Structure formats: structure tokens, C-alpha cells
Structure 1
């Protein structure tokens, strides 16, 4: 097999009746070449295919030509894996695929480029991409299909740092901000990704970040919510947080919450604003919990309001605020009464909300009671106090009732929460002292859902590694673990036990 054979098959692509056969043969031979590791032949064939009008014509197949579309996509994917980003001819080779009207073709090219860049970055090897190729990738931000837009953001996040000061790049990015909201948000997300890399990089993309901040005065509430979510990632880095503080972003947003009655439309912004403050609280709990009392009051009011449209965002924000030990301590110090009301409300919600929101509430509780490290003995009393707020001394019995729920997703969510509680010694003791709970967990005959079985197995594995149970119970727990999550007792064994 040689280059001449491929040339003959490429020529066959001109004849409609021969096209599928030729494409199928080309795909098979390309796989065979890949296995022989003949790099020179791989490069020759790849260049020949991607430059041939016949193959490019096949890439332009209509949706009804499903088999042709699949074959050409596979061939393109193989060819892309043989290309090197350092090839000087790469922009020319890829030009026809990057301007192809089918978004699925651009998706293959972009994803392959992104994977190669990520591999090079992991090896700490820098790859220079030509301006011509960068322009094509920037154009990917304008695509309607997110399968093109997202890898374009990923590629540009890696390579645009060296080109961000080029006049043509700046102008192109600014031009995109006159486009629709999807494109705007992609440009802003790219700017935040770059800004997170370093303080100097943030300075270079301030012209985009400042434009993003100006959008917060826009009448488009959905756009503002999306921009808030994008900007929240900036607070993960100290230099990003400093930028947001210097631009008084927290104060501006907090005032909008404070004056929401004067402009009812701002009510629609509340979930997005809470997410913004909640994500910031993951890295800066003191700043949010202590300095922005209006925001905290808004959060607690949202949780206690029973407004189901805002509860998911409120649950997520509360979980974020409690992700660090510092966050938990500050909440308990500054808002003890509201914290108590919150857990009592959660207990009520678990009884009365829809299934989806019950699961969301359990997921929130799981995050609240999860520990960031084993060294949290100084806040164990706080954890135990919060747990009792759910249902008093009978909190574990209260949860056991949900473990018996016929809906597997609620049962799984509850078991996950109980598992997070059982990482605490007091939680293990509470479970041990709840009549019938261990027996319920060990009973395999009452569980039919596969995911629930495995979640139960995870919890029992945790219990088996503790020292709170007596020898007999501990033996039963270890036997259960040794048998595995899906063990089924044979009929003969059950009959023998009955006798």
C-alpha cells in the first residue's frame, strides 16, 4: 500500500456510485497505517486528503447522506490525529475544514487541536500557533453550535496570551462584543479564563473585563445573570478579587439587592447575584459573610420564603458558604438564629417539596456536613448542633424514614447525606442509637434499585471501619462488605436459616 493507492481512491470519490466504497476503503487503510507507525506515509496521505477537492466535497455532505457524513467525519478525525500543530502548512491544510458550513466538521478540528494543546501544556511545552490559524479559531466563537464555541474558548485560553496585544486580535474581540449575547458571553468567559492566569494577564484583558462590568447596567436580565456567573470565577484568584473590589462590583451588586423593592425587575437577578456571592464565598468567606450583611439577609430570606423558583439557587449558595471551616464558624457566629431557622426550614422542605427539590435539599445538606479535612475537631460541636436543628434528638430517625422511601433517587440522596454525617463520631453514635437502623441497612431483601444498593454498600463500608459497634454488629458489617454490594443470598441458605 502506498500513496498511489490513496490517489486512486481519492479519484474514485468523483463518482457518486463509488463514493461510499472508496471512503470505506480509505478509512480502513488509514487505521492500518496508524498501526504500522509509518509517520512519513501518514503525513503524506493526510496532507493529500485534506487538500483534495474530492474529499472536501465529501465533507459537504447533506444531512440525509448519513453514512457518507459518518465516514468522512471518521477519516477527518484520523487525519487530524496525524497533524502536528507545529507544521508551517497547517493553516493552509485546515482552511477548508475550518470554513466548512457543517459545525460537526469544525468540532472535530477544534477538539483535536485542543487535545494536542492540552497534552503539550501538561508536558510544559509551549506551541506557537500562527495568526492565520488563530483567526479561524476566533471565528469559532461566533458559531451558534456550542460544540464549536466551547473548544474554541479552550484553545484560545491556552494560546491567546502571546497574541492578546496584537491590534488585529483586540479589534476582532471587540467587534464580537457587538454580536449576540451568546458570543458576548463567550468573549467574556475567555477574558476571565485569561485573567485568572496572572495579574499581568488580567491587566492585558481589562479592556474586555471592563466591558463585561458595563453590561451589569444592561436591561437584559438574563445577560446580567450570565455575566455574573462568568465573573464569579475571577474571585478565585487574589488579583481577580482585587480587580472586582477596585471596580466596586460587590458594593454595586449588594446595593441592587438592598434596593430591589424600588426596581422589581431586579428580583429576577437575585438567583444570579446569590450564585456570584456564593462562589466568591468559597475562597473569601470572611469578605462575604461579614462585609455584606444585606446579601446574607437576602440569602436567608430566600431560603425561608418557600419560593420554589429561587430555592435551588439559595440552596447552592448556602452550600458554598459552608464549604470551608471558616465559613461555618462565621455563619454560626454572626447569624446563629437564622442558621437555626434555615435547618428547621430544610426539615420542613424535606417533607413537603417536590422530589427534585427534596433531592436538591439533601445534596445541600451533604455538602454542608462534609468535611474539608480530618482536622476539624474544633467544630464538631457546631456540626452536631446544626444536625439537631433538623429534627431535634430524633434527627437520625427522621432520616431513616427517607431511607425507606419507595423513590430510589430520594433514598440515594438521603443515604449520601447520612454518609457525610457518619464521618463525624457523633453521627456514628446517633446512627447506632437509632433503633433498627443498622438492621435496616444490613437487610438486602428490601433493596431493589442498583444505585441504592451501592450507596448502602458505601455507607456500610464506612461503618465497618469504625469502632463504635459491638463485635457481633461489626462482624455483620464486615461480612456485608466482603460479600459486595449486589450479593444475593441463595434460596437454600435462606431455607437453612429458616430451619
Structure 2
């Protein structure tokens, strides 16, 4: 078969219409392991295949792309950069998107190699084509270009090539294509900036970040929402947050939340403003963010209390994120917010029962997040906190969630099980379970779960119970042993039923 690959290539080179042979070659190269192809690749006539890409025959192009994609994977990145830079550059200029994607994906392989990257950096024309690929119509080509250029920028030499040469002007020229492409360049800049303070310095000095920040106050509310999303990405790194704070951007976004009440179009960008602070709280400090920017948490409470489904969903997700860590739980329970949060919990209970299905599911996930408390963090105060939150949700919360767990709607059913799992490691939760008639029998009954996701959710509940140090004491040895057996048998265990032969049958 290996010899057949070389022979087919020789035949193809001599034919005017080689489609049939190309089909055979495609089958051959995909049937050989890469280890064999590596032994063959450097001796093959790649020029023949690259040349056949200059055709109007779509099947011929697609077949060549499939063959080249397989063969080029077998080549060492340094060898490929040394021998096929011109072909890859032409591939980026090709009219067919599949050829462009092939070229960009192979460049992506090259720039993953520290030894091969300098060969790309030293090829201005290839870099220029990569930059212009960001402006292509095909989003998959643009994404590959962004990814590859961000890898080029991993080194100082790469940063210099992109930001200290004429390539910088190329990036700015590409930005002028349209709004969509401008934000693709911002995406590249944010990815590069996140790597290190040095990378951020290059991007800031280029003027790109300042331009992005001005977009926060743009007239187009949809573009403003996208700009906020980009700035949220910039805030993921410590040096990025420091830069935004120094520029006054975080204060400005807080003021935008305050001013949103008087803007009839704020619904387009307000969710992203809240997500910005939600992400900031998690990567920084929930306490500091909530105390320094009270407009944020006030707006979250207001969203949950409103009637707009999109706003409710964002508010739910944000509260779930905040309450997923001890510091966030304590912030929500503080005197300043505690009484307000008590009302929010009642609202969560109402939403979990009465909202549209998708919002109910998000609400159940939020409740589970708020009530979760790992074994090593179960202090008396925190256990008392989660118990009080649970009891605030409904007048009879255990009964309410048990009813949900028996409903035929899979996502609601699983959402209720997640809440049981959240409280399953906490002694007060276990006491509620054992005192609820039929509940432990429901846990042990495998037939109650109709599908794989439900079985997996039930198994996670059983595992959480068994891993708890208080289970045997609260549930008693009989149930403790049954639950351990359930855990040992796994989520999909089916008990064999013995059959008895009857005379005459």
C-alpha cells in the first residue's frame, strides 16, 4: 500500500484528468497509519497535488484537500515551514474556502512548534496573508487565523513582528473592513493581551485596547454589548484587571449599570454588564466587588425580581456564581444584603415552580449552587446558613422538590435531584431526607430513573451520601449498606431475574 501511494502520485502527474486516481490515492493515504506516512512523506511529490488545486473542478479540489490534509500531518513542522511556505501562502489566497482552511490549519501546526515559529515570523508575506485571513467571509478561516496569530505572539520576536513592523498597519487596515472583522481583531488583541503584562503592553501601545474601550460608549447598542464581552475577556488576567482599573474602565462599567435605568435600549447590553462584574467577582473577590460596586448586586436582585425572562436568567446565573464560594455566600448573607437576599430566595422558590421550563431549570441549578457546601467547609455557621436558605425557598421545600423529582420533564426532574445532591452531605439535609416518608426508598429505587442523564444524576446523589461521614449515624446501618451496594454496582446496574422452566413448555 505504501509503494502504491508513490506510484499513484507518479501516474497523477502524467494525467490531464486524474480524478479517478485521486480518489484511489485518497483511499490509500487514509488507510495508512501516520507512522508509515512519515517514512514516505518527505520523498513524495507534493507539488503535483498543490498544482491540482488550481482547478475549477470542485470534486478535484476537495479530493486534493483531503489527501494533502492527511499527508501534511505526517510532516515535521520545521520541514513543512522550510519547504512549503509559498504553497501555504497561495492556499490562503485561494478562492476555495476549504483550501484556505487547509492552509491555515497547517500553519497552525507550524506555529505550535517553537523551532518552526521563527520561520513563519521571518516570512512577512505569509504573516500578511494570515492577517488578511481575519477578514475572510468564512468564520472558520478567520478563527484559525486568530488562533495561529495568537500563537505567533507567544514570543517577543512574534510580538515585534506583529506590532513593531508594517504588519501593525495591515491589522489596522483589516479592522476597517466592517464591524464584524473589527471585532475579530479585538478578539485577537484580547487573547494576546491575556498572555502576560508584556503582551498587554504591546497591545496597549498599538492603540487597539484604547479603541476597544471607546466602543463601550458607542451608539450601536449591539456593538456596545459585544465590546463589553471583549473587555470581560481582558479582565480574566490579573494584569488585565489592573490595566482596566487604572484606566477607570471598571468604574465606567459600574456607572453604565446605574445609567441603564434611563436608557430604553439597555436591555441589549445590560446582561453583559452584569456578566462582567459576575466574572470579576469570581476571579477577584466577591466581597470587594460587591462592596465597591453596589450597583452591580442591586441590579442582579432587581433582574431576578423582574418579569423579563432574559434578565431573570442572567440574574439567576450570576447569583449562582456568587454563591458558589464561601466568600460569596457570606457576602449575600451580610447585614446590608441579608434581608434583601431573603426576599430573593423566596423569589427563587417561586420561579422554580411557576416560570417557563428553561428558566425553572436555570433556577434549580442556581439553588443547587447556593446550597452546596463541601465536607471540609461545613462549619456550624455555614451549615446553619444553608439550612435557613433552604427553608426560606418554600413553606414546605422538601415536599416541593420531591414533587419536582417525580415529574416526567427530564430537566426539571434532574434539577430537583441536583438540589438533593447539594444538601446530601450536610447533616441537616440528611435528617430531612430520612424524615420524609418514602424518600430513601425513592433514592434506592433504580426504576424511578427513565434515562441515562437521570441515572447519572441519581448516582451522583448516592455517591455524595455515601461519602458523607454522618450517613450511617443519621440513616442507620440498613440504608447505609443499601446505598453502599448501589454505589458499588454503578448507575446502570440491572438485577438479573431468574426464570423457572415449567413442565410442558
- Kindly provide the CA deviation profile for residues 156-204 of structure 1, in whole angstroms up to 9, marking residues without a partner as x: 2211242233322211222222222221222112111111111121111
Q: Note the C-alpha offset of 1:12.
A: 6.1
Deviation at 1:315, TM superposition (A): 1.7
Q: Of the candidates 64, 68, 71, which is equivalent to residue 76 of structure 1?
A: 68
Cα distance change, pair 4–344 in 1 and its aligned pair in 2 (3 A): closer
Question: Matched residue of 1:78: which SS?
Answer: helix
Distance 1:156 1:416 in 2: 42
Distance 1:376 1:94, change over 3 A: farther
After TM superposition, give the deviation of residue 40 of structure 1 in Å: 5.7
Is 1:281 the equivalent of 2:281? Answer: yes
The equivalences for 1:177-196 within 5 A come to: 177-196=175-194
Provide the C-alpha distance between the structure 2 equivalents of 1:37 and 1:4, rounded to a whole number of angstroms: 13
Per-residue CA deviation, residues 368-404 of structure 1 (Å, 9 max, x unaligned), is 3345783453633322222222125x32322111110
> CA separation in 1, counterparts of 2:376 and 2:126?
49
Partner of 2:385: 382
> Any conservation in 2 of the 1:416–1:455 contact (CA below 8 Å)?
yes
Q: Is the Cα contact below 8 Å between 1:233 and 1:279 reproduced in 2? A: no
Query: How far has the Cα of 1:205 moved from its partner?
Result: 0.2
- Residue 230 in 1 paired to residue 222 in 2? no
Alignment of 1:51-450 (within 5 A): 51=50, 53-54=51-52, 56-57=53-54, 61-62=57-58, 65=59, 71-86=63-78, 87-114=81-108, 117-118=111-112, 120=113, 127-128=117-118, 129-130=120-121, 131-161=124-154, 162=158, 163-206=161-204, 207-284=207-284, 285-333=286-334, 334-371=336-373, 374-375=376-377, 377=379, 379-392=382-395, 394-450=396-452
Superimposed CA distance per residue, residues 432-463 of structure 1 (whole angstroms, 9 cap, x where no aligned partner): 33221111122223332222122112212222
2: distance between equivalents of 1:438 and 1:308?
35
2:503 corresponds to which residue?
none
Gaps of 5+ in 1: 495-499
Equivalent pair of 2:372/2:422 in contact (CA under 8 Å): yes
C-alpha RMSD of matched pairs (Å): 2.7
Secondary structure at the counterpart of residue 487 of structure 1: coil
What is the deviation of 1:33? Answer: 5.9
Give the TM-score normalised by the residue count of structure 2: 0.87
**Structure 1 residues 9, 441: closer, same or farther in 2, change over 3 A?**
farther
Alpha-carbon spacing, 1:151–1:473, altered in 2? closer, same or farther (3 Å): same
User: Unaligned 5+ residue runs, structure 2?
Assistant: 501-505
Structure-to-structure mapping, 1:25-44, within 5 angstroms: 25-31=24-30, 34-35=33-34, 37=36, 39=38, 41-44=40-43
Normalising by the residue count of structure 1, what TM-score does the alignment of the two structures yield? 0.88
Residue 477 of structure 2 is aligned to residue 471 of structure 1: yes
1:85 to 1:133, Cα distance in 2 relative to 1, 3 A: farther
Shift of the 258–360 alpha-carbon distance from structure 1 to 2, 3 Å rule, reads same
How many Å apart are 1:411 and its aligned residue? 1.1
Equivalent position SS for 1:456 = helix
| Deviation digits for residues 139-160 of structure 1 (CA, Å, limit 9, x no counterpart) | 2211233222222222222112
